Chains A and B, each alone.
Chain A
């Protein structure tokens, strides 16, 4: 028999929620009757009893003294005998199941109640949110792309440059490459999981390391910045993970567009906080999380081992730390382990691949021009890192952060395209990562004096006109536009996300609201700020778009010409590594200084 539902708003005015529920119930084939607002309690109860309704749905905004009023209604309904046969639900802002229980209702519906939920209640079925749980799957943003060049001239220049790099790399190696090789051939993840003895491996490994890791392995001396997690800490960490996984539910940020997917980084330095950050990111809708190592890690030959924590940004890369984070990720969460810029690039890719990362991050130009690593060293290490990324089927993004020191976008893009082209030739899947930033170039040049849209749009247009490849602006979007004001910071991130969505890019990385100014680890509330902000921006935009001014077109053309010019110079020079030293891809005047870490460590095999 068709269930009969009586709906009655107890509020003087707010009956819109009930009207929406009524529409849903009608569509589900139920018989409904909606009473006008402000119908007296006695009247509602009488109508409900005389009309033989099965369910009564009330709505009321909770406020001062309202709890007693609702409790009185429930009492009257009970005493009148209505509740012998009729079930009563309450909906409204601030209604939670706990409050509904206290007030004496059969169910409570807060904001965000779905029609399915209301129908399930009316039909007396158990509402299981699992059925309505968001189905989320990992997205491989690189898969639709062909990596074909649309700008033939640039394509040909890149071919020439990368051929030279492949030739240069053929007979070279470095301690980093050797460690990666050892890790690849002699270290087994399954054996690690079974806690098999690995002392022989680490004895050989130590020989390829700097003094600090060497002392760690051979003398048992802790790295001065780190400490081992205690047994108690590990036990409570595991308890925390287990409890957290039970109650975990993922969420989606995207509205009607499927892209961009949204990345959040963790890397608090503390394995506890990392996991809390990852879970918060997942719970509030991030599609992927980024693991990054501490900056001292990038300048030290060799990794440490064990359950290590430290009090700086970045998470110490050890098999244990990576394993623990990987184990607590939701199935739908993409995991990127950053390998770029330092002396452990190649080995990071091997570890990430063995432990199960989905993506990694490799670059040459930023790392060697603005992050302190010797150009020759990073070129050989990245060359091998790319080969491992191809082997482990991990796409990786190529960053252009040298822009932040003052290198103009077109030069940074030329460097990025070289690495991307090299990757494609080595069988890997690179992702282009232009910055969405208020960079020194535009601060001086005035391209963002009017708006943040045109120059960022020009970057995307320029890259799209050159090659059919995935684009992932970062990292994070809105770099240098955010201030210590959390509202301003979140809004700026959300607006840049809006622009990214409008431009149809594949992914974005977003910061937390306090990231630029936290003066320490970022906080979870500010992480949620930006995730919620981005979600709202996607909801706001839908399939509509942002229209840049004609400047975007003009700057796009300038950028493409600039890229051609730089690539011609590199190709002409015929020595990519030397071009880096010489400042062709970013000069000292532009704030780019070839790094010293790993200088003179590249040798011929």
Chain B
């Protein structure tokens, strides 16, 4: 069975590329695996598009399958045999499916939204990939609803305050682990709740029915409105498509507090589809902005302290890839994936 693994970050420079590279090395070693590689962003450049600091480069090997934008091939040294050109448009041209014929560096820019990733993943499998890595971008996570297993890279680049980072990480993982509900009968369906009017409708639906299924997102404003409604929520059910829909609406800690408050009020919140957060990776590196010269410089927090603090704050495996390599992480992925 194919593994479809997403690597998301909580911010830029939290170690997505390093994690991706470490896992790729393990896939290359595992003779039963054919790599399929794509990205929801842009990765593999020499220097960061925004900070201007050097970045790790992605290298692919013969036989690996890729789904990347046409123009990303222009700046890659790997040679790719074209298998199929899709009509999926990106700022860097159409997404193509290809097989690596000569190893080298690869700049991966690929399908950057859920709708397109949903089309590309089966194509990679059709051409024989049985270990697919979806490389993330910045703090973006929405398209990762399409993967089966998610690795989250976090670290000092999110915030160099380790305690704050631990709290944020704990809350993030807890939201992503919200329970799966089987949709009961007598539920009302509605679209995304993005403003007060929609929140009012939601609240009315909850009053008159057993629960509501939101086919989209609910904004933090919407959650705040529900809290005001208060007692009437007791015993009612609110279901979202998946937990990712909960975290894209605002700062994780704020959303977490709102959700906790709603639970206290007796509202049961669940999701239709589970997000499998398989592991976390932590990175002490962060780009420090220098106001004196208006640029960035490399900086680090205490590696051991960061690792221990994060490890103690969550109930899933945590890895420091630079320190221990990708082998153990790979074992965890494969074990969970099968």
Contact = CB atoms under 8 A, between A and B. Distances in A.
Contact of B142 (A43, A45, A49, A79): A79
B192 A101 contact: no
A79 B50 contact: no
A98 B89 CA distance: 14
Given A67-B12, A68-B12, A102 B115 contact: no
Contacts of A80: 192, 194, 216-217
A107 interface: yes
Interface string B240-256: 00001100110000000
**Chain A interface residue count: which class?**
20 to 34
Interface stretch (B22-30, B133-141, B165-173, B200-208): B133-141
Contacts of B76: none
Contact of A101 (B69, B195, B219, B221): B69
A104 interface: yes
Contact of A42 (B142, B221, B245): B221
Given A42-B219, A71-B139, A108-B91, A102 B41 contact: yes
Interface in A53-105: 62, 64, 67-68, 71-72, 74-76, 78-81, 83-84, 96-105
A81 B91 contact: no
Contacts of B245: 79
A106 B194 contact: no
Contacts of B289: 64
Interface in A118-144: 126
A76 B195 contact: no
B71 interface: yes
B91 A106 contact: yes
A511 B43 CA distance: 41
Nearest to A85: B115
B64 interface: no
B112 interface: yes
B114 interface: yes
A46 interface: yes
Nearest to A78: B142
Contacts of B49: 96, 98-99, 102
A106 B116 CA distance: 11
A193 B299 CA distance: 59
Among A72, A74, A79, A98: residue with most chain B CB under 10 A: A79
Interface in B41-57: 41-43, 45, 49-50
Give chain B's interface secondary structure class.
loop
Given A80-B216, A97-B92, A75 B195 contact: no
Nearest to A246: B74
Nearest to B40: A104
A355 to B, nearest CB: 33
A310 B264 CA distance: 83
Interface string A26-48: 00000000000000001101100
A72 B248 contact: yes
B142 A75 contact: yes
Interface residues of B, number: 43
Nearest to B158: A68
B90 interface: yes
B216 A104 contact: no
Contact of B194 (A46, A67, A100, A107): A46
A96 B50 CA distance: 11
B138 A81 contact: no
Contacts of A83: 113-115
B274 to A, nearest CB: 16
B121 to A, nearest CB: 16
A68 B142 contact: no
A81 B215 contact: yes
Give chain A's interface secondary structure class.
helix
A3 to B, nearest CB: 15
B94 to A, nearest CB: 9
Contact of B192 (A49, A97, A102, A107): A49
A353 B97 CA distance: 50
A394 B49 CA distance: 49
B91 A79 contact: no
B11 interface: yes
Nearest to B221: A42
Nearest to B109: A101
A108 B71 CA distance: 14
A540 B235 CA distance: 71
Given A42-B194, A74-B142, A83-B114, A104 B137 contact: yes
Interface in B194-229: 194-195, 198, 215-217, 219, 221
B248 A75 contact: yes
B155 interface: no
Nearest to B137: A102
Among A43, A64, A97: residue with most chain B CB under 10 A: A97
B15 interface: no
Contact of A79 (B109, B137, B248): B248
B195 A46 contact: yes
Contacts of A72: 139, 248
B140 A76 contact: no
B42 A98 contact: yes
B92 A71 contact: no
Given A42-B194, A101-B90, A76 B217 contact: yes
Interface of B: 11-12, 40-43, 45, 49-50, 69, 71, 89-92, 109, 112-115, 137-143, 145, 191-192, 194-195, 198, 215-217, 219, 221, 244-245, 248-249, 289
17 contacts: A43-B195, A45-B192, A46-B195, A49-B192, A62-B50, A74-B113, A76-B142, A76-B249, A78-B248, A79-B142, A79-B217, A99-B42, A101-B112, A103-B137, A104-B140, A105-B91, A106-B89
The 3 A-B residue pairs whose C-beta atoms are closest, nearest first, are: A78-B142, A102-B42, A100-B91
Interface of A: 42-43, 45-46, 49, 62, 64, 67-68, 71-72, 74-76, 78-81, 83-84, 96-108, 126
